[in-house]
Amino acid sequence: MELLKIAYNINLYFIPIMIIFGIIGNILNIFIFTRPALHRSCSIYFLAGSFNGLIILIFGTLNDWFSQIFPVLNPIGTSLSYCRFLSYFIYVIYNLAPYFTACITIDRFLSSCPDANLRRLSSRPQTAYIVIPIIILMTSIAYIHMPIRYTIIWSICQPEPGFYANFFPFFTTGYYFFAIILIIIFGLGTSYNIRSRRRRIQPLVNTNAIVERRRARGDAQLLIILFVHVVCYAALALPFHITLMIAAIKPTLAVNIIFLFAQQITFVTLNLSQSISFYVFTLTAKMYRKELINLIRRVKDHYWH
């Protein structure tokens, strides 16, 4: 019981701080990724991820915090329609996050390809405006069974007992891991393309070369941002999905205090993955810091002069 008390205190005190800093960070991400210096298709995927992170923190993390701290005020355990809608909405937005990251990885793979036609796909921001709605639609359809098969048992909103209760953890973990596999495959492909390009590169001296070098430096900074984002997201989000699969394989762990504590902590880290991107990008990418400083200067000039 001591472990559950620790988990409760983490939820009580740490989660609100994480939500506040996460909301501020995602809003700043949105401003920075709309800057002309970062106007590439992969920036639009980062932008979509920041919007999604904002929605997760407000409608997912904050709602979960309220339900644990003030359970009487939350209708999810009494209203079946609310239970089904909220559960569906929460799972959709949480599972959009790895697919936006996969889109960024695929975009960087295309931008590093030797084939000019493939590189052109990456250089067109319009591509991202087509892909993002497709990803949202695909994930919404993938989870469409939830409003039908979720129910309330003992005031807990959960999958229907029987086959669906066993199927659902495997389904959602599989859906998540498919995005992770895409990230790994195209991440390795990007690394290979970059190494190959460095071996082929020739010295350039004309004006176009200067423009290309500037763009290449920007692309390199975006690759750093992508790498850090992938590492942080995998480290923070992966443990939660692993606990889901373990619970599905061994349902008796649902009453094990140590396992419940571990699951609570991994849920905190899952939400933390949507809160820290701005701060990690600021620490690791020079171009991102430069755009942040420019943003602060513009705000200062606008309001204090």
What b-and-e string marks burial along 159-173, b requiring 16 or more CB atoms within 10 Å of the CB? beeeebbeebbebbb
pTM of the full structure:
0.87
Report, as an integer, the average pLDDT of 105-117.
Answer: 85
175-214 pLDDT, tens per residue? Answer: 999 999 999 999 888 888 887 766 655 554 455 554 455 5
Q: Domain spans of the chain?
A: 2-304
Nearest Cα neighbor of 26 from 271, 226, 275, 287 is 275
Average pLDDT over residues 287-295: 87
> Looking at domain 2-304, which CATH architecture does it have?
Up-down Bundle (1.20)
The Cα–Cα gap between 247 and 170 comes to 10
List Cβ neighbours of 74 (8 Å cut-off, separation of 6 or more).
Answer: 63, 66, 67
Calpha distance 270→272 (Å, rounded): 5
pLDDT of residue 201: 52
